Structures are given as C-alpha cells and as structure tokens.
C-alpha cells in the first residue's frame, strides 16, 4: 500500500467510516445468514439479508429497473405479446416480492428494527384507504405487486404494462424515502454508534502497539448451542457479566501476558445472541493462538454457560479468511497485518447491528472492552519506526485470513481460573462499570 493511499484513508471522516461499516454489516449479513440444510425450513435470516441488500442497492442506484419488450415469434393477435424485462437488480427486487414479510417479522419485529426491511414493507404493502385519506392516487397495480409478481409469467399485455409501471413507481418511492431525512436519521442512530465503537477499538489496538512490538491476536465467537438459541436475554446478560469478569480477572492476575479484550454482543436471526471476542496477549511471551482460543471457548462452554454455549475459534481456520492476516501473531512494523487487524477484525466487531438494540434492555451495553494501557513517559533518543495501519480499506474486506500461531513457547494458566473463578464471580452485577463510555 502506498503512503499516499494510507494518508488519504486515515484522513477520512466519520461519514466515510459509517458508510464503510454499513457495507461491512450488509455484506456480512448476506454472507453469514444463508440458510444451511440443518437450519430447517426457517428462512427469516436469509430473507431479511436479501431484502436489506436489495433495498440498499436500489437506494444507491438511478437506473430504470423494469422495461417492456415485444416477444418474438408470437402472432400479433395474441393477448400476450409483451414481456417484462428486469435488470439484474430488478430481478432481485422481484425475488424480494416473493418473501412473506409477515412471516419474516413473526418472531421479532424485524420491520421495526431493520430500517431497510421497514422501508421495503412501506413501499410494497400499501394500504388503499390510508393512501386515499392522505390524498394519494396510486395505480391499482401498486396494491397488487405481490400477486402480479407471482403471476408475472402468465399476465396479459395490459397487466404487464401496468405491472412494469407499478414496479418502477415503487422503486422510485424507495429511492425517495431512502434518501430523505427521516430514513437517514433512523439509519444514523445505528451508524454513529458503530463508528464510535470502531474508533475506540482502533485506539485501543494502536495504544497496545505503541507499547508492545509483537501481539498475539485471538478471535473467538462465543455463542449458544442450537438447542439453547432461544435463551432469554436476562440469562444472556448474566453470562455476559460472568464472561467479562472472568477476562478482567485473568488480565489482573496475568498483566505481563494478558493485555486487552474486546467483546461485542450481537443478535442474529439465525444464531441468536452471541459475542464476537477479541483477546490480545503479549506475543513476546506466549505463542499458540489456536491453543488459547480453544481454552477461552471451552471456559465459555463448560463454566460460564454450564454446557449451553458453543464457540468458534477463528484462529483454527486460517484458509477460510483469505490471504491477509488480521489475527495470530502481529508485529508492530508489519503494515499489511496491522491494516487487516484495524479494518477486517475491528470492522467486523464494530459493524452496526440492527436487532440487538431492540432486543436488549434499555441502558445495557453491547460493547465491552478493557481500558487503554498506561503509557510510559517518552525518553529521549532514537525513535523506533512504527507502521501506521490505515483505517478504511479501498474494497470490500471479505474474505479475511487467519494464520496459525506457533504452539510452542511460554504460556499462562487459563484453566486455573475455570472452577475457582466461577465460584466467586457474581452473575448479578452492573455492566456499567465494565467498559469505558
């Protein structure tokens, strides 16, 4: 990466970071919420991701998505001479019309939590009487978009023309509302919180690299087993409190090794409540990121949740995350790895979550992290060279790669905290004092 690119990226403001984090969240939603065979018939997560991505793309576009052409090889007296021709984005919009939004919001108020799903529902599911009361005169086809979409291959010419007009009219309404202040204000509530969290995580990481030349970055997702994903939030809160206290206690007793932690609590339609965890150890003292990722995950499973929890050790699957490393052993001077750490890893933790703020209790936090390290006074002398990683990537950060650490080397005792700490950790406490505001 050139110095010019770095400088331009670092200089970007909150608006650019917010937009990038939104892209990160939507792409992640589309990638991770695809239905798998063992998920059964529940398609809500995949459907919500499909609508979110489509509506975002429509807002950012200006092209006409639907046109009409005359079929070839059909007799002129045929009542079906015309054919609807959608663009690629238009085809995605037609697919969204096939989604049952009422079923989508059956378990959670997705249309209220997700601004893009709410906008889609308002534009598509119009109420004729409400529009008349408001003085709006829309074409009859605007109120039959779903029905016409399901019958689009057998429509007569008049219906094809009316359907195409109604579709383009709905698309224009989505663009108008999606670029208007009420929608942008609703979206900004999510994005500003995400940008603030992102800057705080990057600030913590840069402070650690100011103090240490080599850090061992561990990424673990703490989640729940499929049978316990419907666990109530009150119990999730107790588990979160216990996990934070556990990490704080390890850090207090192993200050020379355990340097920092970041936990982000999220709610996903497929996975339910889960944490994205980032744990930072001193790379000069310990090696073996896979080993420690497993230890922290096992503690979550066996001690914190008493068998209800599962975990995903990101450090154990390096090929899944591409070529650029953001976890494992990261050197201060390694610009590429620090760039990946500050963009892919930090961005994934800080990305906006539409559902968790609605599902959690008022006043509870979703981001937990350790305080900034205390910096020593700078002594006079030759200054060491430090690579400054950029804040925003030029392209979509997916996929990213995780490299294995060397299992050999020094270690500290994680297991020693399992039973003894579990006995003294209170599950009923205030979250407010466990993270910097």
Determine, yes or no, domain membership for 27: no
Q: Are residues 302 and 273 in the same domain?
A: yes
Percentage of residues in the chain with pLDDT exceeding 70? Answer: 77
Report how many helices (DSSP H) and strands (DSSP E) the chain contains, helices first: 17, 9
Determine, yes or no, domain membership for 391: yes
Q: Are residues 171 and 252 in the same domain?
A: no
Structure confidence by residue, pLDDT tens digits, 186-242: 999 999 999 999 999 999 999 999 999 999 999 999 999 988 888 999 999 999 999
Minimal CA–CA distance to 45: which of 114, 98, 92, 91? Answer: 114
Determine, yes or no, domain membership for 200: yes
Phi-psi region of 374 (alpha: psi -120 to 50; beta: other; left: phi over 0): beta
Whole-number average pLDDT of the chain: 81
The rounded distance, in Å, linking the Cα atoms of 389 and 221 is: 24
Q: Are residues 11 and 48 in the same domain?
A: no
Determine, yes or no, domain membership for 129: yes
The rounded distance, in Å, linking the Cα atoms of 400 and 74 is: 51
Domain interval for residue 328: 3-15+194-433
Q: What is the pLDDT of residue 319?
A: 59
Q: Are residues 138 and 276 in the same domain?
A: no
**Range name among 16-30, 104-118, 223-237, 358-372 with the lowest pLDDT average:** 104-118
**Per the confidence metrics, is the pTM higher than 0.85?**
no
CB 114 within 8 Å of CB 268: no
């Amino acid at each position: 990466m050139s110095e010019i690119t770095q400088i331009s990226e670092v200089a970007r403001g909150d608006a650019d970071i917010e937009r990038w984090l939104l892209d990160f969240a939507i792409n992640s939603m589309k990638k991770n919420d695809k239905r798998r065979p063992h998920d059964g018939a529940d398609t809500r997560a995949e459907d919500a991701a499909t609508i979110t991505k489509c509506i975002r793309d429509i807002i950012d576009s200006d092209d006409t998505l639907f046109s009409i052409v005359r079929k070839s090889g059909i007799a002129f007296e045929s009542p079906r001479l015309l054919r609807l021709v959608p663009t690629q984005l238009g085809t995605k919009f037609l697919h969204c019309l096939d989604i049952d939004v009422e079923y989508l919001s059956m378990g959670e108020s997705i249309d209220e939590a997700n601004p893009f799903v709410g906008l889609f529902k308002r534009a598509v599911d119009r109420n004729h009487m409400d529009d008349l009361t408001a003085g709006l005169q829309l074409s009859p086809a605007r109120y039959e978009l779903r029905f016409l979409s399901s019958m689009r291959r057998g429509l007569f010419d008049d219906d094809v023309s009316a359907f195409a007009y109604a579709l383009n009219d709905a698309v224009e309404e989505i663009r108008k509302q999606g670029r208007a202040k009420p929608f942008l204000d609703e979206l900004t509530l999510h994005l500003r919180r995400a940008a603030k969290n992102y800057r705080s995580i990057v600030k913590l990481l840069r402070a650690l690299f100011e103090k240490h030349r080599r850090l061992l970055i561990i990424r673990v997702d703490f989640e729940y087993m499929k049978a316990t994903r419907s666990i109530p939030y009150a119990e999730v809160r107790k588990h979160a409190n216990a996990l934070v206290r556990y990490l704080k206690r390890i850090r207090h007793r192993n200050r020379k090794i355990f340097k920092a932690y970041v936990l982000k609590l999220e709610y996903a339609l497929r996975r339910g409540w889960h944490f994205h965890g980032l744990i930072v150890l001193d790379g000069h003292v310990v090696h073996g990121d896979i080993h420690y990722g497993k230890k922290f995950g096992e503690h979550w499973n066996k001690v914190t949740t008493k068998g209800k929890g599962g975990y995903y050790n990101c450090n154990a699957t390096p090929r899944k995350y591409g070529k650029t490393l953001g976890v494992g052993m990261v050197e201060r001077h390694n610009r590429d790895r620090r760039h990946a750490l500050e963009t892919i890893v930090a961005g994934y933790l800080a990305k906006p979550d539409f559902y968790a703020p609605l599902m959690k209790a008022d006043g509870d936090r979703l981001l937990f992290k350790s305080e900034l390290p205390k910096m020593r006074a700078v002594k006079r002398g030759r200054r060491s060279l430090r690579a400054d990683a950029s804040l925003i990537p030029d392209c979509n950060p997916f996929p990213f790669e995780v490299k294995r650490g060397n299992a050999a080397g020094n270690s500290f005792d994680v297991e020693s905290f399992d039973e003894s700490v579990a006995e003294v950790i209170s599950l009923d406490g205030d979250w407010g004092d466990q993270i910097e505001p």
